[in-house]
C-alpha cells in the first residue's frame, strides 16, 4: 500500500471511531466542570467559557473567591462592557496577609451567599466559581453545603469551579475534570506577571 493510501485508510478508521463515539454520547445535560492543577490556565479557561456562553446570549454569573484588590483584565472588561453580567468578588475582608481566620471565614460566607443565589436562580445558564477550591481546603466553607448547592442547581445551568486541589468529592460530582499541569512557568525564571496575560 502506498503511503497516501495507508494514511487514507487510517483516517477512515479514525473517523469511524470518532463518529461512533459522537453517536454514543447522546445525553443532553448541563455540566459541572472542575479546572484544577498547578499550571497556569484555569481562570483564563473559565473566562473563555464566559465568552463562549455569551456568544449564544446565555446569562452568566461570576463569583471570584479572591481579594478584591487583585485587579484583572477580565474584571475591567466585564465592568466596562458587560454591565448585565453579575460579577462578584470576595473583596476586602479576606486577609491572607494578616491570617485573620475569622474575618476570612466571614468574607467567604458572604461571597458564598452570592454564589448560592446564582446556583438557585434558573435565569443563569453558566456560573463561574473562580478559586472556590481554596475555600474548601481551608474549611472556610462546608464542602457538603457547597456540593449540595451545585448538585441541586437548576437543570439547564452549568457550573465551572477553578482552583488547585478540589478534593475527591468535588471531582466525583464534576462531569469534566481537567488538570492544568505546570511544565514550566515564567515566574520561576524571574519574569514578572504580565498585564493582559497573567492578570
Ligand atoms: P490564569 O488566571 O492565568 O488562567 P490560573 O487561574 O491557572 O491562571 P492561579 O493559580 O489562579 O492560576 O494563579 C493566578 C496568577 O498566578 C496568574 O497570574 C498566573 O499566571 C499565576 N500563576 C499561575 N500558575 C503559576 C505558577 N505555577 N507559578 C507562578 N505563578 C503562577
Ligand atoms: Mg485562577
This model's pTM is above 0.85: yes
The answer to whether 61 and 122 are in contact (CB under 8 A) is: no
Give the residues surrounding ligand 1 with Cβ less than 6 Å away: 38-44, 162, 180, 182, 185, 187, 193, 198-199
Determine the Cα–Cα distance for residues 197 and 189; give it in Å rounded to an integer. 16
User: How do the pLDDT tens digits run along the chain, 199 residues long?
Assistant: 888 888 888 888 888 888 888 888 888 999 999 999 999 999 999 999 999 999 999 999 999 998 777 789 999 999 899 888 899 999 865 666 656 788 889 999 999 999 999 999 999 999 999 999 999 999 999 999 999 999 999 999 999 999 999 999 999 999 999 999 999 999 999 999 999 999 9
CA of 16 to the centre of ligand 1 (A): 39
Q: In the 3-class helix/strand/coil scheme, how is 115-157 assigned residue by residue? A: HHHHHCCCCCCEEEEECHHHHHHCCCCCHHHHHHHHHCCCCCC
Unique residue bearing C-alpha cell 443532553: 28
Q: Are 94 and 151 in contact (CB under 8 A)?
A: no
- For residue 187, how far is its CA from the centre of ligand 1 (angstroms)? 9
Give the domain ranges of the chain.
31-181
CATH of domain 31-181: 3.40.50.300
Measured in angstroms, how far is the CA atom of residue 160 from the centroid of ligand 1?
A: 17
Number of Cβ within a 10 Å radius of residue 129: 28
Q: Which atom of ligand 1 is nearest to the CA of 164?
A: 10
Amino acid at each position: 500500500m502506498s503511503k497516501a493510501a495507508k494514511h487514507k485508510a487510517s483516517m477512515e478508521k479514525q473517523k469511524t471511531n470518532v463518529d461512533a463515539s459522537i453517536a454514543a454520547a447522546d445525553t443532553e445535560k448541563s455540566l459541572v466542570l472542575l479546572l484544577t492543577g498547578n499550571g497556569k490556565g484555569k481562570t483564563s479557561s473559565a473566562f473563555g467559557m464566559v465568552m463562549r456562553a455569551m456568544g449564544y446570549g446565555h446569562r452568566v454569573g461570576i463569583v471570584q473567591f479572591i481579594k478584591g484588590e487583585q485587579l484583572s483584565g477580565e474584571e475591567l472588561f466585564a465592568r466596562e462592557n458587560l454591565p448585565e453580567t453579575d460579577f462578584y468578588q470576595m473583596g476586602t475582608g479576606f486577609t491572607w496577609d494578616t491570617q485573620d481566620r475569622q474575618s476570612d471565614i466571614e468574607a467567604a460566607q458572604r461571597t458564598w451567599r452570592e454564589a448560592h443565589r446564582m446556583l438557585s436562580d434558573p435565569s443563569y445558564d453558566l456560573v463561574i466559581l473562580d478559586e472556590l477550591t481554596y475555600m474548601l481546603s481551608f474549611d472556610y466553607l462546608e464542602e457538603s453545603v457547597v456540593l449540595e448547592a451545585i448538585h441541586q442547581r437548576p437543570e439547564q445551568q452549568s457550573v465551572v469551579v477553578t482552583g488547585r486541589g478540589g478534593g475527591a468529592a468535588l471531582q466525583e460530582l464534576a462531569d469534566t475534570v481537567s488538570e492544568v499541569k505546570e511544565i514550566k512557568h515564567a515566574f520561576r525564571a524571574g519574569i514578572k506577571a504580565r498585564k493582559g496575560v497573567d492578570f
